Structure 1
Amino acid sequence: MQLYSEHYVSTKSERFVNKIWCLDNSIGESLIENKLVLPNGCFNLAIVSGTAIEVHTSKNKYEMNEGIYFCSQMTNKVLVNIQPKTKVTIIQFHAWTLSMFPKYDASNFTDSIIKINPIELPFSIESTVNIPIEKLLNTINLYFETLADSNPNLNTIEKICEIIRFGKDEISVSEIGKQLNASQRLLQIKFKASTGLTIKKYIQILKFRKSVDQMVNADLEKLSLTEIALYNKYFDQSHFIKKFKDVTKTTPKMFDPDLYFLSKKR
């Protein structure tokens, strides 16, 4: 049995959905415990089937039995325990996706999980019990391809994220305001309402995840921590280590990738 797997939506849907990933202990007889997940600047919709999954965020402990859950932006590592006979399928939305649905205000919604009624979703998930991944991918692609077609222009939140993600240098809120010809205050209010994060915090999370991915996928015999720190726009190695410990509670050299559910290298 493969505990962790990733599945990818269509190119057009990728504008809003990063990927779908599964934690599958559905035929397992024992508890999978103390696995960790790192913040990544995304929202997650978790479909739990079977027994239950326990999630510890920096704010609370959540017992997630069968059902559908909306998971906010996480700002610190999350601990996960998966009960036997349990499968969790997670739809990972980009930070700006929620801004397509203005009725949702995420201003004070970080490091939190809420159970939702399936009828609240803009797309239909008929059952949470062993939903085939192919059927889920078809549902997600149909909805988000249509959403992309009906919204060809980027809204303000997506523009902010694009500037941050694809800029060669770290950018300030002031510079983003100049590029978008908008007030910093208005951008900050809009961004926090849609993501739960400040623009600065979003930048920090992306920078941190990029550093972790580089550490995991690079040969550290050839790439030093100082080089990783400077490449990802930290002041120096000490600054990088401090920020790394803020999230993981350990140092980069003591970091054990096997304890974490980490993205596969595509």
Structure 2
Amino acid sequence: MNLYSEHYVSKTCERFVNKIWCLDNSIGESLIENKLVLPNGCFNLAIVSGNAIEVHTSKNKYLMNEGFYFCSQMTNKVLVNIQPETKVTIIQLHAWTLSFFPKYDLNSFTNSILKIDSVELPFKTNLKSDITVLLSTINTYFEELDAINTSKNTIEKICETIKLHNEEISVSEIGKSLSASQRILQIKFKSATGLTIKKYIQILKFRKSVDQMVNSGLDKLKLTDVALYNQYFDQSHFIKQFKDVTKTTPKMFNSDLYFLSKKR
């Protein structure tokens, strides 16, 4: 059994959900220690069954026993220890998804994890749901949400504009593109995601750089090339950003320690 696996939602559901991924140590007899996860600009809903998973963010250490958890935006690497006989299923939500539920104000909620009750979930599921059943539930719920919300809201438009420009756009340019006040966009984005627009762009650019490094291999691709391709000022700027998130240099980065996305 693979410890890490990815499962993909329907095309319509992809508007709100990037994917579902699993960390499965359910038949394992030993603790899996010191695995790492990088920020990627998404929120996560985690379903823990069995014993527990221990997660260290830049703010706190969380012991996540059996139950449901909401994981905020992360800005630094996260360390994970998975106890024996434990499975974690994670629903990865795009940065704009929660903005379609306006009762949530996430202005100061980053690098944090909150245990929630199952009744707080917008869809019905249980701790032991098979991945096939969960996928069907998620697809049905978010396809209905898509049908109800035919127009993109402000947060989705901001993220779409950033993607359209390959993460090379300023807040002022986003404001001009959307014919909106920079200040209003900043306030709305921070409330919906916990991040500034600039920080969100930095995270996306960083992850794209890491994926490029891992896929190409540092032996084949010089750091200067990675930095220039992703439009960092220079190699030293890229290395500084890299160290801010991973606490190591690109040269010392060991991808085997990380759960890195298979979906590009």
Give the Cα–Cα distance (whole angstroms) in 1 for the partners of residues 229 and 255 of structure 2: 21
- 1:65 match: secondary structure: strand
Match of 1:33 in 2: 33
- 1:179 match: secondary structure: helix
Give the Cα–Cα distance (whole angstroms) in 2 for the partners of residues 59 and 166 of structure 1: 32
The number of residues matched between the two structures is 264
Is 1:109 the counterpart of 2:106 in the alignment? no
Offset of 1:152 from its aligned partner?
1.4
Give the Cα–Cα distance (whole angstroms) in 2 for the partners of residues 256 and 166 of structure 1: 31
Equivalent position amino acid for 2:105 in 1: D
Q: Tell me the TM-score normalized by structure 2.
A: 0.98
Match of 2:138 in 1: 140
Give the Cα–Cα distance (whole angstroms) in 2 for the partners of residues 179 and 97 of structure 1: 21
Match of 1:57 in 2: 57
Offset of 1:221 from its aligned partner?
3.2
Is 1:155 the counterpart of 2:140 in the alignment? no
Match of 1:128 in 2: 127
Is 1:241 the counterpart of 2:239 in the alignment? yes
Offset of 1:153 from its aligned partner?
1.2
Alignment of 1:169-180 (within 5 A): 170-180=168-178
Provide closer, same or farther for how the CA distance between residues 231 and 101 of structure 1 changes in structure 2, counting only shifts above 3 A. Answer: same
Match of 2:204 in 1: 206
Match of 1:4 in 2: 4
Offset of 1:233 from its aligned partner?
1.4
Give the Cα–Cα distance (whole angstroms) in 2 for the partners of residues 119 and 43 of structure 1: 19
- 1:119 match: secondary structure: helix
Give the Cα–Cα distance (whole angstroms) in 2 for the partners of residues 258 and 221 of structure 1: 16
- 1:239 match: secondary structure: helix
Offset of 1:68 from its aligned partner?
0.2
Q: What is the root-mean-square deviation in Å for CA atoms of aligned residues?
A: 0.9
Offset of 1:168 from its aligned partner?
4.1
Match of 1:228 in 2: 226
Offset of 1:169 from its aligned partner?
6.1
Offset of 1:166 from its aligned partner?
2.0
Provide closer, same or farther for how the CA distance between residues 148 and 261 of structure 1 changes in structure 2, counting only shifts above 3 A. Answer: same
Deviations 1:86-143 (A, max 9, x none): 0000000000000000000000110000000111111111x203x2000000000000
Offset of 1:223 from its aligned partner?
2.0
Provide closer, same or farther for how the CA distance between residues 169 and 7 of structure 1 changes in structure 2, counting only shifts above 3 A. Answer: closer
Equivalent position amino acid for 2:40 in 1: N
Equivalent position amino acid for 1:49 in 2: S
What is the identity percentage for the equivalent residue pairs of Structure 1 and Structure 2?
78
Q: Which moved more, 1:220-229 or 1:147-156?
A: 220-229
Is 1:164 the counterpart of 2:193 in the alignment? no
Give the Cα–Cα distance (whole angstroms) in 2 for the partners of residues 29 and 219 of structure 1: 33
CA contact (8 A) 2:167 2:204 kept: no
Q: Which moved more, 1:20-29 or 1:212-221?
A: 212-221
Equivalent position amino acid for 2:160 in 1: E
Give the Cα–Cα distance (whole angstroms) in 2 for the partners of residues 118 and 212 of structure 1: 35
Give the Cα–Cα distance (whole angstroms) in 2 for the partners of residues 264 and 121 of structure 1: 27
Match of 1:78 in 2: 78
Equivalent position amino acid for 2:228 in 1: L
Deviations 1:38-79 (A, max 9, x none): 000000000000000000000000000000000000000000
Give the Cα–Cα distance (whole angstroms) in 1 for the partners of residues 86 and 26 of structure 2: 5
Offset of 1:182 from its aligned partner?
0.7
Give the Cα–Cα distance (whole angstroms) in 2 for the partners of residues 57 and 164 of structure 1: 26
Q: Tell me the TM-score normalized by structure 1.
A: 0.98
Instruction: List runs of 5+ in structure 2 lacking aligned partners.
Output: none
